């Protein structure tokens, strides 16, 4: 009941915000949490003389921060219309105004243009209960980095309140299919901000594109492309656009995943007759075969954080299940035992929890599993769910699903059941990959 009311409020807030930022992926919040932390982000001030260009005319910094925090599912944001005052500097803050409104935390800030054309933004985070400033910082960057500055503020606010590193400065890599229901679809590989904004196409093809994955420093991506008429693994440098076909063996070249140190790709190749797991050293191009099971499909490898093991899907027991193999021993160990279809697993950063595609009552969901206790929990309430990918801080998971027959992306909180959808008006979206942590204010992409 409480959650329902909250969900409706969030949905309205999200729609209002979405309208202001012209994004390709819209965000529709589905479900709320009953007892989120209450935060107010007061509209940021502009310290500009009236005749100077206002850096915030195009970018609503407070709106971006509020929307970021909302999407974590851990916070309830106070709409600006309900605020009693609009402080932009610490000496304008009257804690009483925020305590009356039941706020736990308050964020204020302001922005201005420097003499050299750069923009500076300063923010302050206050604990309303203790009436103390918890954090504050000033960032200066090129004007086109304003959104990045806003996301960094969200990251810092989130970390100060929760103790967990924020992942709002991250990117989403995904496949958009235009005209999917026709016999002439176009496949776009796209990168957008984690909030769906600033989507851009990094590769386009009339042939299928799938399984995109990020290098650990986010400078390169790997994916499967059918541009030659058959599957090939491509590594693409995001700064230069340079593309290298790293695996074009006979049969399937699929499921590329960068090792945590970025030097290798794990993949699934059928060059020896059936799908087996391999690792490819990107510098020497040396291929190493990891699995040997001539009658089974072995695919969808992913790395453990320490790079010593791979998690993969195998149908060696007759139906697909998740296995783990140490690269120094090559003896796979089965991890999943519930249900007859478990596939495409990804480990959480803590290494103890797993998410994967799980079929239950003929419906495909994403399940979460505690590897030590064996507990299995279904995370999603949609159907035909696939391609789970985790935010680098392990708090949220993005996945592909269907809504009214259209492919959309959805995000669900690992811990609190909060979820939102990211449909794309231009077509079907699928195969999302959440980027590693990115310092957008320093480098790419």
Provide the binding-site residues for another protein, judged by CB under 8 A.
Answer: 180-181, 208, 210-211, 224, 226, 229-231, 251-252, 254-255, 268, 270, 274-275, 297, 299-300, 313, 315, 319-320, 341, 343-344, 357, 359, 364, 384, 386-387, 402, 405, 430-431
10 by DSSP, 3-state: which? helix
Strands 428-434, 75-77: pairing is: unpaired
Q: Under a CB-based contact definition with an 8 Å cutoff, are residues 433 and 174 in contact?
A: yes
- Min dist CB 343 to another protein, Å, is 5
- Min dist CB 381 to another protein, Å, is 17
DSSP per-residue string spanning 274-339: S-EEEEEETTT--EEE----TTS-EEEEEE-TTSSEEEEEE-TTSS-EEEEEETTT---EE---SS
Say how far residue 317 (Cα) sits from the centre of its chain.
Answer: 32
End-to-end CA distance of the chain: 42
Q: How far apart are CA 396 and CA 389, in angstroms?
A: 9
Q: Under a CB-based contact definition with an 8 Å cutoff, are residues 14 and 422 in contact?
A: no
With CA atoms as reference, report the closest residue to 103 among 36, 12, 7, 9. Answer: 36
* Closer residue to another protein (CB): 61 or 234: 234
- Min dist CB 331 to another protein, Å, is 22
Q: Under a CB-based contact definition with an 8 Å cutoff, are residues 291 and 312 in contact?
A: yes
* Closer residue to another protein (CB): 87 or 427: 427
Specify the residue for token string 């009953």.
34
Other beta carbons within 10 Å of 417: 16
* Closer residue to another protein (CB): 155 or 298: 298
351 by DSSP, 3-state: which? coil
* Closer residue to another protein (CB): 168 or 203: 203
* Closer residue to another protein (CB): 243 or 359: 359
Structure tokens of 7? Answer: 């969900």
* Closer residue to another protein (CB): 293 or 437: 293
- Min dist CB 315 to another protein, Å, is 8
The half-sphere exposure of 346 on its side-chain side, counting CA atoms within 13 A, is 24
With CA atoms as reference, report the closest residue to 14 among 81, 64, 89, 48. Answer: 64
- Min dist CB 222 to another protein, Å, is 13
Q: How far apart are CA 171 and CA 79, in angstroms?
A: 26
* Closer residue to another protein (CB): 60 or 300: 300
- Min dist CB 135 to another protein, Å, is 42
Q: How far apart are CA 7 and CA 111, in angstroms?
A: 31
- Min dist CB 299 to another protein, Å, is 5
* Closer residue to another protein (CB): 76 or 401: 401
Helices (H), 60-103: 61-71, 95-100
- Min dist CB 376 to another protein, Å, is 18
19 by DSSP, 3-state: which? helix
Other beta carbons within 10 Å of 96: 12
With CA atoms as reference, report the closest residue to 74 among 172, 193, 161. Answer: 161
380 DSSP 8-state letter: -
* Closer residue to another protein (CB): 50 or 405: 405
Q: How far apart are CA 190 and CA 426, in angstroms?
A: 12
- Min dist CB 280 to another protein, Å, is 16
* Closer residue to another protein (CB): 193 or 276: 276
- Altogether, the residues listed in the chain come to a count of 445
* Closer residue to another protein (CB): 251 or 262: 251
- Min dist CB 335 to another protein, Å, is 16
- Min dist CB 314 to another protein, Å, is 10
């Amino acid at each position: 009941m409480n959650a329902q009311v909250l969900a409706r409020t969030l949905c309205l807030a999200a729609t209002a915000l979405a309208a202001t930022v012209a994004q390709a992926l819209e965000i529709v919040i589905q479900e709320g949490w009953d007892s989120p932390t209450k935060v107010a982000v007061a509209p940021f001030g502009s310290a500009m003389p009236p005749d100077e260009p206002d850096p915030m005319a195009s970018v609503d910094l407070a709106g971006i921060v509020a929307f970021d925090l909302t999407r974590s599912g851990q916070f309830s944001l106070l709409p600006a219309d309900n605020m009693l005052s609009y402080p932009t500097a610490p000496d304008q803050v009257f804690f009483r105004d925020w305590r009356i409104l039941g706020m736990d935390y308050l964020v204020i800030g302001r922005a201005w243009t420097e003499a050299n054309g750069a923009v500076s933004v300063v923010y302050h985070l206050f604990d309303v209960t203790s009436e103390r400033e918890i954090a504050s910082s000033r960032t200066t960057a090129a004007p086109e980095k304003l959104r990045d500055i806003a996301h960094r503020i969200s990251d810092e606010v989130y970390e100060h309140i929760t103790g967990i590193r924020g992942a709002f400065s991250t990117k989403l890599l995904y496949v958009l299919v235009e005209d999917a229901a026709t016999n002439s679809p176009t496949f776009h590989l796209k990168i957008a901000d984690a909030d769906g904004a600033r989507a851009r196409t990094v590769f386009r093809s009339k042939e299928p594109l799938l399984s995109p994955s990020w290098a650990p420093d986010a400078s390169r991506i790997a994916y499967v492309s059918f541009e030659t008429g058959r599957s090939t693994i491509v590594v693409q440098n995001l700064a230069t656009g340079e593309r290298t076909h790293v695996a074009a063996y006979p049969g399937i070249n699929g499921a590329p995943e960068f090792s945590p140190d970025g030097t290798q790709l794990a993949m699934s190749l059928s060059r020896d007759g059936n799908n087996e797991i391999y690792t490819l050293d990107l510098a020497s191009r040396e291929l190493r075969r990891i699995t040997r099971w001539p009658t089974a499909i072995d695919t969808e490898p992913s790395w453990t954080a320490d790079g010593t093991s791979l998690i993969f899907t195998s149908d060696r027991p007759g139906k697909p299940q998740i296995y783990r193999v140490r690269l120094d021993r090559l003896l796979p160990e089965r991890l999943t035992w519930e249900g007859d279809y478990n596939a495409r697993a990804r480990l959480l950063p803590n290494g103890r929890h797993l998410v994967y595609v799980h079929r239950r009552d003929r419906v495909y969901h994403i399940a979460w599993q505690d590897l030590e206790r064996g507990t299995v929990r279904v995370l999603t309430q949609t159907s035909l769910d696939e391609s789970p990918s985790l935010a680098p801080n392990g708090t949220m998971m993005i996945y592909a699903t269907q809504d009214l027959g259209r492919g959309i992306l959805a995000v669900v909180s690992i811990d609190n059941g909060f979820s939102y959808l990211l449909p794309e008006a231009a077509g079907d979206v699928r195969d999302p990959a959440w980027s590693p942590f990115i310092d957008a204010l320093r480098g790419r992409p």
